[in-house]
Amino acid sequence: MKPTHKYKLNPRGTLRLAVASSILSLLSACVSYSGIESHSQLKTLSSNTSVDIYGQQNGQWPDTSWAKNIGGQELQDLIDQALVNSPTLQVAAARINAARAASDYVSADRLPKVNGVFENTYQRFTENGIYPPPLAGNYYSANELALRTFYDVDFWGKNEAEMRSVLSQEQVATAEQQSARLMLSSSVARTWLQLARQYAQLDLSKRQLEIRENFDKLIAQRVQAGLDTKSDIQQGLVQASALKNEISSWESAIALSRNQLAALLGQEPVRGLQISRPQYEIKQGSGLPGNLPLELLSRRPDIVAARWRVEASQGEIDAAKTQFYPNINIIGFAGLSDIGSGAGLDRLFKSGSLAIGVGPSIHLPVFEGGRLRAQLKNKVAGYDIAVASYNQSLTDALHDVADQIQTIKTSEIQLNEQAKAEQATKISLQLAQQRQKAGTANMLPVLTAESALLTQQKQSLDITFRQAESQINLIKALGGGYNSKADSSNSTTSSATQVSNKAEAA
């Protein structure tokens, strides 16, 4: 079927549009962003850069089950409870929802907009205005029922730049949530480990007090026999009081750790009393690979978030630059319009009331008093801040990893030396026990040697748990098993490309 009407381009209209576009293009040169740019550089890590932990290739990169590997299912259950009840994580989740809402808003802004309009106004038209008689000086009703449409052509990519920015902000919120989860998980693990150490030290202190009391009983017997003086009894009382104070301190520390765990779980202090005594099994080594490629630090959620902030700032710069160009929109309307002498709608729905129109609307900045340049400078400054923050985060992460590795190495050396000291004390105890059984010595050297062994065991315990805490800190420094979608290739260098692809798909 052939169309019943033919529509031809109006040569005069086309000429007017071409002339107007040329004039606007010339005028747009009056507003320029030349000279406004960033010179900041993102810090990168060489794929060959690595840190050796033990000089051996064993273990694996931290995964999401790292807590279970440290404290078993008991610790994992506590962390799971904390992740469910944490107000901090609830705030982080709300931020993700807000970022997604912003993404939906920008995505919707890229589509054509259609609004329905109905107006019914009864008014007196002024005699001293633009309306001639018979409208001037008389009452008429103005009625309109129409659909209006608006579409931003977006020649310069403003909407796409804004979409990249908001998608990056969504990635920032997601990475920040993972960072909060990692911080909370590691805090629960450290507090749980601290509670295990406090119980172990309490047991040793109680054993020392028991030995001290037995020692003092023998001293009292020797004083009665005239073998020792009363000053020895007083000295024993001083040491016993010190041990009792130490026991009281450990009991108080245990109560405080339980309260802290309850707070981390997002529950009342009574929940801390229900936590069973931690059963921590001392393990040798960190369970991490002997060689850690520092390039993989990009898996840390805080670094991922910092990198996405850079991408978001770049999108804001691109969007700000489009403000310097002409803004071209397509505006159209179709509906019914009527001005009548009565207050009714009698003539509105007649065929003669049809009104329809479509055409371009072009806006461009000619003189903005420096507002656009100042706005772009602000966005560039924000980008520089984001780059500097990313570089600083990367530097801090490198030092954090190096510090924890050094602490672990030092703990290994200290444990080896402490094991020698503890072994020597055990031999001294065995010799004292042999002399006591042979009748060549009394019980006092045995109790002294046993007390000395407990002191060495306390020192070994402190070093062991210090090393275990450093291992948790190292796991946290390495991202705690976090692996964002933006880092699927163990590098954040592809972030910009992925954001662009998401923006195009949105």
Alpha carbon distance 204, 141 (integer Å): 96
Q: Has residue 73 been placed in a domain?
A: yes
Alpha carbon distance 465, 478 (integer Å): 20
* CATH code at position 142: 2.20.200.10
* CATH code at position 275: 1.20.1600.10
Higher pLDDT, 230 or 276: 276
pLDDT at 36 over 60: yes
Residues 178 and 139 in one domain: no
Residues 338 and 276 in one domain: no
Q: Has residue 297 been placed in a domain?
A: yes
Three state DSSP letters for 394-444: HHHHHHHHHHHHHHHHHHHHHHHHHHHHHHHHHHHHHHHHHHHHHCCCCCH
User: pLDDT tens across 58-114, in order?
Assistant: 445 566 678 888 888 899 999 999 888 888 788 878 878 877 777 776 666 667 777
Residues 308 and 386 in one domain: yes
Length of the chain equals 506
pLDDT at 8 over 50: no
Residues 125 and 269 in one domain: no
By the 10 Å C-beta count (0-12 exposed, 13-18 middle, 19+ buried), 208 is classed as buried
Q: Please identify, among 315, 348, 363, the residue that sits at the C-terminal boundary of a domain.
A: 363
Residues 247 and 355 in one domain: no
DSSP H/E element including 32: none
Q: Please identify, among 363, 388, 411, the residue that sits at the C-terminal boundary of a domain.
A: 363
**345 confidence band (pLDDT: 50, 70, 90):** low
Range of the structural domain that residue 394 is part of = 40-110+155-326+369-505
C-beta separation of 477 from 400 below 8 A: yes
Number of domains in the chain: 2
Least confident residue range of 194-203, 278-287, 411-420 = 278-287
User: pLDDT tens across 68-84, in order?
Assistant: 888 888 999 999 998 88
Q: Please identify, among 337, 363, 389, the residue that sits at the C-terminal boundary of a domain.
A: 363
Residues 159 and 148 in one domain: no
Give the pLDDT mean for 235-252: 90
Q: Is 224 helix (H, G, I), strand (E, B) or coil?
A: helix
Residues 334 and 244 in one domain: no
**Within 13 Å and on the Cβ side, how many CA atoms surround 133?**
0
Residue 357 β-bridge partners: 333
Biggest CA–CA distance in the chain, Å, is 135
Q: Is 333 helix (H, G, I), strand (E, B) or coil?
A: strand
Residues 193 and 219 in one domain: yes
Closest CA to 401 of 466, 303, 473: 473
Q: Has residue 49 been placed in a domain?
A: yes
pLDDT at 490 over 50: no
Q: Has residue 28 been placed in a domain?
A: no
Q: Has residue 441 been placed in a domain?
A: yes
Q: Which residue has the tokens 């772009």?
A: 376
Residues 201 and 298 in one domain: yes
Mean pLDDT for all residues in the chain: 77
Residues 106 and 130 in one domain: no
Q: Has residue 8 been placed in a domain?
A: no
Residues 288 and 322 in one domain: yes
Q: Has residue 31 been placed in a domain?
A: no
The per-residue pLDDT for 24 is 53
Residues 240 and 339 in one domain: no
**497 confidence band (pLDDT: 50, 70, 90):** very low
Q: Has residue 21 been placed in a domain?
A: no
